[in-house]
Structure 1
Amino acid sequence: MNNPIGHEIDNNIAALDQVQSTAIDLALKFGPKLLVAGLILLAGHYVGRWLGKMVEGLLLKLELDVTVRILLVRLARVLVLGMFAVLALQNLGVELLPLIAGLGVAGAGLALAMQGVLSNLAAGLTIIFTRPFRVGEYISIAGEEGQVEVISLFNTVLSHPDMSRVVIPNRKIAGEILHNYGQVRQVNLSVGVAYDTDLSAALARIDALLAANPKVMRDPAPLVQVATLADSSVNIGVRPWVSVEAYPTAAGDINKAILESFRAGGIAIPFPQREVRLLGQA
């Protein structure tokens, strides 16, 4: 008579032996491949770190924003690690064609859903590498103007003298006509003097007060000349160069200095005049 307990024990032992045999077969079959795949991923990690340092050194020379630099370095590392991951999957015998096809379909759908974001990203990369303007420069573009405060992958931030900030999507900048003032701006002023004024004395006074103004740059030299011969006055154009930071207050300071200097020198600034003649009266 068979012992049912002993029979069950024999079955369990046989099952364990089969599992052990299967595990050994799988280890012998896939063990070396898993080891090689692990080594490939480890190599990808170190290659990614090495390439990241190279990219960071290159971006430091380009004087890019810190946030953009870190993002680009991480992107380079991820791309390298992704390439080595593909090699590891190939070593394990994974069919990559269906995986790539699935990723392609998903990527196409994601691209359609994120058209605006991707266009900003592409325009941001174009701005970063072509460098039509830099942080600190004063620009006018897309109907806005201001000093460049931040250049990111998705938008550019301009600061205004009134302490406000303008955030412009990068896709609105790429392809637009850009006026880059750089780090300096030219103040455009005009002052009228009477026709009987000694113009040489008036021009000398303006030159002197511009030379004494710390906000006015010496190079390039200010442009002071007779601009127009108006109806009631001779208009003198005053166009000095100042830094972007000094621009908001420079015009007021120069106008005040011109008025005080002309008063001290007895130079009149005439009011507009009209001569009216009445005809046909006895």
Structure 2
Amino acid sequence: MFAVIDTELLNKITEQGIAFLFDYGPKLLGAAIILVIGLVAALQVGKVLQRWLGKKDLEPPVRILIVRVVRLMVMGLTMMLVLEKVGVAIAPIIAGLGVAGVGVGLALQGVLGNLMAGLLIIFTKPFRVGEFIELLGVHGQVHAIDLFSVILVHADQSRVVIPNRKIIGEILHNYGSMRQLNLSVGVAYSTDINQAVAIVRAVLAANPRVLKNPEAIVGVCALADSSVNLAIKPWVKVGDYGAAAAEINQRVLEEFRKQGIEIPFPQREIRVLNTSEPAAIRAA
């Protein structure tokens, strides 16, 4: 009896399986082929796009984002074709994704705001990596431009992370990839100014951190109480700012000492005009 039931059940399952294969087999096979083609297409399109974008003047985060978005679009189109091939209605799915997207967008306003601001910064290029900028009360050399934030680094290697949405709409001071040092040194009024200026220029010419173009500015900037002040304003790369200032100050001091040029310190001259005391005071 059990053998008869098992045989009947097996025959029924076999018939249903054969019917399923005839009904859905071609659809499943077609869906599998579409899925494989879609995966291969997404990978190949990504590689081609990556090579093409590598020739463009784009920041690395933008290239990565564009490649990923295009790959996701290809995969999304592939999945819709697969679902349609197996007979699944995709219109309700698209509508559901739209509603879900609105909810996610409201929940991630800050994140999306940083993302859109990051794309705007990367495409408009108000500053680049390596340049020195100042905004929002902070300053530093641009270390990285990411999709969600900009990282500035100081001379002491501390970092400032600024959300991209805070940058858009703010006044930005971009110093560029080089900065001008604002140094000065005082010499005595008896000094040969032309000699002092020549010594300073020789020091600047010998320093490898000092840029040849633009030309450095060296000259008298003030006639102070105790000294004639010389302005020393060479141009250096942003990363050499602190080191160049220290090296130039040291070399100028050493060369002035060698040449006997005095760097005076503030002095007060007191003259006693009348040393005799009044008679009334002596009597007291």
Shorter-chain TM range is 0.7 to 0.9
2:218 partner SS:
strand
Say whether 1:227 aligns with 2:221. Answer: yes
1:46 partner SS:
helix
Q: Superposition pairs for residues 17-56 of structure 1, below 5 Å?
A: 17-56=11-50
Matched residue, 2:193: 199
Match 1:154 to one of 140, 148, 151: 148
Match 2:107 to one of 91, 95, 113: 113
Amino acid at match of 1:9: V
- If the length of structure 2 is used for normalisation, what is the TM-score? 0.81
Match 1:141 to one of 135, 138, 152: 135
Matched residue, 1:167: 161
Shift of 1:238: 0.8
Matched residue, 1:242: 236
Per-residue CA distance 1:8-65 (angstroms, 9 max, x = gap): 936962x555544443333333222222222222221121112101221133234766
Q: Superposition pairs for residues 257-276 of structure 1, below 5 Å?
A: 257-272=251-266
Q: Tell me, in whole angstroms, the C-alpha distance in 2 between the residues paired with 1:122 and 1:139.
A: 21
Q: Tell me, in whole angstroms, the C-alpha distance in 2 between the residues paired with 1:184 and 1:26.
A: 73
Contact 2:61–2:147 under 8 Å retained in 1: no
Would you say how many aligned residue pairs link Structure 1 and Structure 2?
Answer: 275
Structure 1 unaligned residues grouped into runs of 5+: none
Per-residue CA distance 1:69-124 (angstroms, 9 max, x = gap): 55543343222111111122223332222212221222222222222222222222
Contact 2:204–2:210 under 8 Å retained in 1: yes
Q: Indicate how the Cα distance of structure 1 residues 29 and 202 shifts in structure 2: closer, same or farther if over 3 A, else same.
A: same
Point out the more displaced range, 48-57 or 16-25.
16-25
Matched residue, 1:9: 4
Say whether 1:73 aligns with 2:67. Answer: yes
Shift of 1:239: 0.5
Shift of 1:186: 1.4
Matched residue, 2:281: none
Q: Tell me, in whole angstroms, the C-alpha distance in 2 between the residues paired with 1:181 and 1:67.
A: 23
Say whether 1:61 aligns with 2:55. Answer: yes
Shift of 1:153: 2.1
Q: Tell me, in whole angstroms, the C-alpha distance in 2 between the residues paired with 1:156 and 1:21.
A: 65
Matched residue, 2:78: 84
CA RMSD, Structure 1 to Structure 2 (Å): 3.2
Matched residue, 2:282: none
2:239 partner SS:
coil
- If the length of structure 1 is used for normalisation, what is the TM-score? 0.81
